[in-house]
Amino acid sequence: MHRATPHAFTARWRASSLPLTRPTTRIDEPALSGSAIVFCRRVTLISGLCVGLWLSSSPVLAQRQAPAPAGVSPLRDLSASVETLTRRVSLSVVQIQVMGYGPVEQQPRDGETGLVIGRQRSIGSGAIIDADGYIVTNAHVVEGARRIQVVLHREGVATGPLNLLGEDTSLTVDARVIGVSTDLDLALLKVDVTGLSALRFADYDAIRQGELVFAFGSPEGLRNSVSMGVVSAVARQLDPDSPNFYIQTDAPINPGNSGGPLVNVNGDLVGLNTLILTESGGSQGLGFAIPSAVIASACPQLRKYGHLHRGQVGFTPQTITPALAAGLGLSRKSGVVVADVMPGGAAETAGLEIADVIATVNGKSVDTVPVLALELGRYAGGDVVTLEVVRGRSTASLTLTVEELPHPLDQLAGLADPESSAIRKLGILGLDVGPDTASLTRDLRVPSGVLVAARTQPSSGNEVPLMPGDVVHAVNRLSVRSVDALRILVEDAKADSELILQIERSGQLMFVTCRIF
């Protein structure tokens, strides 16, 4: 199994330096005189007329040149519809260029050993889901990024013919990460461009096996590509007991397609291309996309919190196998059985028991762990859910209240005082790295700095690319060891100036730029 990984730049890009057209004559061929050129043209014209007269008398060609039927060809109509769809959807598809550092291939010199670290560039894809510049992609596309750039399609690029003169009318802009969920492999990006063409989310409940779909993205780095296929499966589990599930498609997906949209014939977002099953590294017709329902549920939370706030129901589901059904004496040989009930949780309070079989969630039938996870994932903390369960030979209806699962980063906001921890020009609440934050900062590369506890509205109106969990180590190469020191450096910055912050995010050091007004 492979992620439809961002495509790294390789030597094949050297082909871009080749000429677009071949010379029409060789340099070693003698030039023709003006009369010779006229002669050649006349001979060509006469020969063409003779061949044309002969071919027109041929019954075979006459049959081929028969006028097309008056009615519209279904294939021609389909082709026109696909072209229209492609032009429209392409405006909502972006190429994501990621710059970072990592191991690079290099021939070892005499006496040299060890790992060589160098600059790396990779390419992925993304889908615009909000006209104000919000873009969804895979978390693995932007993992370890020091700088992220997004290539947007302008109207002329998406709808116009291939420009052989080399003029590039696309728009490349910097992007920043707003939120990440590594569990779902989702990331939300933001660009400072408005009025973009955004995709609508498809109704996941209406997606059907065999439905025609189109995969967009940058396979092997080839920007603005599209492939066609069908939905092979609506809810495919790669791990029978994992709550994560995918839409399977045979639309060709290759490295570089990661994060690109899978759309239906209406141009609505069915899923986000994320991984492939392959032995060769290329598409074998086994592509998988994160379903639209999962994306639609996760993105508002990533936008608001920078991470997910998951609901908790207090039990662990497991897929029923024939062996389980026989050994536990279950009335069903397939479906979902309760493997564990958390003490004191919502499920135990509602009366759920181990070995209960989950039949429905709020009246909707569930027969697999992914379907159960999808249905329960629609509800947030405080929502009421009714479960119909099969217990032995009888059925029962249980009502439970979903609890909100605390996130480690949520604890940071509780530690920060809104007044003394606020750095208003950066729009953050900060905490000194120390004993109070030891559980969250024990693996820091630099054991000092200011931990970002939460984001607030910056007083300058500027959006600063910091996230909860980031640690600020330096400002313009000046070391930062406390909230007070960081506040002084920011407050002393001149109006309309840029600050370069050295931060640590997910175990990696990077620089981010903040403009202070």
Q: What are the residue numbers of the active site?
A: 140, 185, 258
Alpha helices in 117-248 (DSSP H): 139-142, 155-159
SS3 content of the chain, % helix, strand, coil (to 5): 25, 35, 45
Burial of 160 (0-12, 13-18, 19+ CB in 10 A): exposed
CB atoms closer than 10 angstroms to residue 211: 17
Which of 202, 187, 217, 218 lies closest to 307, judged by CA? 187
Q: How far apart are CA 200 and CA 303, in angstroms?
A: 17
392 Rama class: left (phi>0) / alpha (psi -120 to 50) / beta? left
Contact present, 429 and 456 (Cβ < 8 Å): yes
> Does residue 251 contact residue 264 with C-beta atoms inside 8 Å?
no
Query: What is the CB-side half-sphere exposure of residue 334 using CA atoms within 13 A?
Result: 5
Q: Is the dihedral of CA 39, 44, 50, 53 positive or negative?
A: negative
Closest by CA to 394, choosing from 357, 435, 436, is: 357
Q: Which amino acid is at 127?
A: A
Strands (E), 138-286: 147-152, 171-181, 186-191, 212-217, 225-236, 246-249, 261-263, 269-276
